[in-house]
Amino acid sequence: MMTHKFSIVTDKLTKRFGDFTAVDAISFKVEEGEIFGFLGANGAGKTTAMRMLTGLSLPSSGKAVVAGYDVGTDTEQVKKSIGYMSQKFSLYQDLTVGENIEFYGGIYGLHGRQLRGEADAMLMRLNLTDERRTLVNALPLGWKQKLAFSIAIIHKPKIVFLDEPTGGVDPVTRRQFWTMIYEAAESGLTIFVTTHYMDEAEYCNRIAIMVDARIEAMGQPAALKKQFDTHSMDDVFYRLARKAARTEM
State the number of binding residues for other proteins (CB under 8 A).
Answer: 39
Q: Is 203 in the site for other proteins (CB under 8 A)?
A: yes
Cβ neighbourhood burial of 68 (10 Å; 0-12, 13-18, 19+): middle
220-225: long-range pairs with CB below 8 Å, 24+: none
Single residue of 107, 124, 222, 223 touching other proteins by CB under 8 A = 222
- DSSP conformation letters of 109-143: T--HHHHHHHHHHHHHHHT-GGGTTSBGGGS-HHH
How far, in Å, CA of 179 to CA of 185, rounded?
10
Considering the complex, what minimum distance in angstroms separates the CB of residue 126 from other proteins?
18
Give the one residue of 63, 80, 155, 196 binding other proteins; rule: CB under 8 A. Answer: 196
Which residues fall within 8 angstroms of residue 105, CB to CB, at 6 or more apart?
111, 115, 118, 119, 151, 154, 155
> Closest approach of Cβ 82 to other proteins, in Å?
22
Question: What gap in Å lies between CA 245 and CA 18, rounded to an integer?
Answer: 19
Q: Is the dihedral of CA 22, 27, 33, 36 positive or negative?
A: negative
Contact between 73 and 116 (Cβ < 8 Å): no
- The answer to whether residues 207 and 219 touch, using CB atoms and an 8 Å cutoff, is yes
Closest CB to other proteins among 9 and 215?
A: 215
Q: How far is the CB of 76 from other proteins (least distance, A)?
A: 32
Residue of 6, 69, 104, 237 interacting with other proteins (CB under 8 A): 237
Per CB under 8 A, the list member of 169, 213, 215, 217 interacting with other proteins is 169
Write the interaction track for other proteins spanning residues 116-145; mark x where CB under 8 A is met and - where it is not.
------------------------xx----
Look at residues 56, 52, 54, 55 and name the one whose alpha carbon lies nearest to residue 25. Answer: 52
By CB under 8 A, name the one of 66, 85, 185, 191 that touches other proteins. Answer: 185
- Of 159, 139, 214, which is closest to residue 8 (Cα–Cα)? 159
Minimum CB separation of residue 179 from other proteins in Å reads 7
Q: Which stretch binds other proteins (CB under 8 A): 17-25, 124-132, 152-160, 172-180?
A: 172-180
Residue 197 is a binding residue for other proteins (CB under 8 A):
yes
Among 54, 173, 190, 194, binds other proteins (CB under 8 A): 173
Q: Which DSSP helix (H) or strand (E) runs through 239?
A: helix 233-242
Q: Which is nearer to other proteins, 61 or 179 (CB)?
A: 179
Q: Rule CB under 8 A: choose which of 179, 188, 223, 226 binds other proteins.
A: 179
- Three-class SS state of 202: helix
Query: In the complex, which residues of this chain contact other proteins (CB under 8 A)?
Result: 40-43, 140-141, 167-173, 175, 178-179, 182-183, 185-186, 196-199, 202-203, 221-222, 225, 233-234, 237-238, 241-242, 244, 247-249
